[in-house]
């Protein structure tokens, strides 16, 4: 019985490798975004008004201009410079992932943001305090009125605007994506690397639009790990 299961698994795995070409998809050039909401989200993303002591913004840990949407630290530094327990994930192309955080505890970008608000080491802000601050802010008050047609700004709308901005943080048309679309050729070395990537089975986990981020995997598949996300 075990033998048969093993053989079936082996065949499925190999079929996947053969089909490899189709299981990697280029990043779409455009996804639909509401510009007014995204602009509002952009301001909020960079604004430390979101953290309890006004010291951190999303941008503090997710530098989208110089650090690929992360902080380039092994472990994130939270409020008061205290180390968190995880490495910062990138916000670039995050919209294409099927679940959020290392352990997938948030189901979408909006829910992910609410976790950040409540996290004592991240923004550490209550719903009431956040709504009070944003509703007392003239510019935000006006922009929310325009984008969402509301007089009272809820936490849910704040998260919605930031999530809308995150949809703009995508990186289409890398050389590899252009290759997948048949628009450029890979060099000899690049082609060989891609062949090995498929042959060694990297592609069984690294596939889809983000070359990963679409399955749950055990930490320490090769070298055992004690870390529990």
Q: Which residue, 29 or 85, is less far from ligand HEC as judged by CB?
A: 85
Q: Does 116 bind ligand HEC (CB under 6 A)?
A: yes
**CA 164 from centroid of its chain's CA atoms:** 13
φ, ψ of residue 151 in degrees (nearest 5): -100, -30
Mark 141-180 with x for binding to ligand HEC (rule: CB under 6 A) and - for no binding.
Answer: ---------------------x------------------
Q: Which residue, 11 or 82, is less far from ligand HEC as judged by CB?
A: 82
Please tell me the distance from the alpha carbon of residue 6 to that of residue 179, in angstroms, as a whole number.
35
Q: Does 214 bind ligand HEC (CB under 6 A)?
A: no
Write out the E strands in the chain.
Answer: none
Please tell me the distance from the alpha carbon of residue 109 to that of residue 82, in angstroms, as a whole number.
25
| Residue 100, strand partner residues | 106
Q: How far is CA 10 from CA 7, 13, 225, in A?
A: 5, 5, 26
| Residue 188, strand partner residues | none
Q: Does 134 bind ligand HEC (CB under 6 A)?
A: no
- For the bound state, the minimum distance from the C-beta of residue 184 to ligand HEC, rounded and expressed in Å, comes to 21
Q: Which residue, 183 or 190, is less far from ligand HEC as judged by CB?
A: 190
Q: Does 68 bind ligand HEC (CB under 6 A)?
A: no
Mark 77-96 with x for binding to ligand HEC (rule: CB under 6 A) and - for no binding.
Answer: -x-----x-x-xx-x--x--
User: Which active-site residues does the annotation give?
Assistant: 122
In Å, the largest CA–CA distance within the chain is 69
Q: Are 69 and 169 in contact (CB under 8 A)?
A: yes
Q: Which residue, 36 or 108, is less far from ligand HEC as judged by CB?
A: 108
Please tell me the distance from the alpha carbon of residue 207 to that of residue 182, in angstroms, as a whole number.
18
Residues near ligand HEC (CB under 6 A): 50, 56, 58, 60-62, 76, 78, 84, 86, 88-89, 91, 94, 97, 100-102, 109, 112-113, 116, 122, 162, 200-202, 204-206, 213, 217, 221
């Amino acid at each position: 019985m075990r033998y048969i299961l093993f053989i079936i698994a082996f065949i499925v795995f190999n079929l996947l490798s053969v089909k490899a070409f189709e299981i990697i998809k280029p990043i779409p050039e455009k996804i639909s975004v509401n510009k007014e909401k995204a602009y509002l989200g952009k301001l909020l993303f960079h604004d430390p008004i979101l953290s309890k002591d006004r010291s951190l913004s999303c941008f503090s840990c997710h530098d989208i201009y110089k650090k690929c949407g992360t902080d380039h630290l092994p472990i994130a530094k939270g409020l008061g410079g205290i180390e968190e327990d995880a490495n910062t994930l990138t916000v670039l192309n995050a919209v294409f992932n099927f679940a959020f955080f290392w352990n997938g505890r948030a189901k979408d970008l909006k829910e992910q943001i609410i976790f950040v608000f409540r996290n004592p080491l991240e923004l550490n802000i209550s719903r009431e305090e956040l709504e009070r601050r944003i509703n007392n802010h003239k510019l935000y008050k006006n922009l929310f009125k325009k984008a969402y047609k509301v007089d009272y700004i809820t936490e849910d709308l704040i998260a919605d605007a930031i999530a809308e901005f995150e949809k703009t943080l995508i990186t289409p048309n890398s050389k590899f994506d252009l290759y997948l679309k048949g628009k450029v050729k890979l060099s000899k070395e690049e082609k060989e690397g891609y062949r090995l990537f498929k042959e060694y089975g990297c592609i069984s986990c690294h596939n889809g639009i983000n070359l990963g981020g679409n399955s749950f995997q055990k930490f320490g598949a090769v070298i055992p790990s004690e870390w529990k996300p």
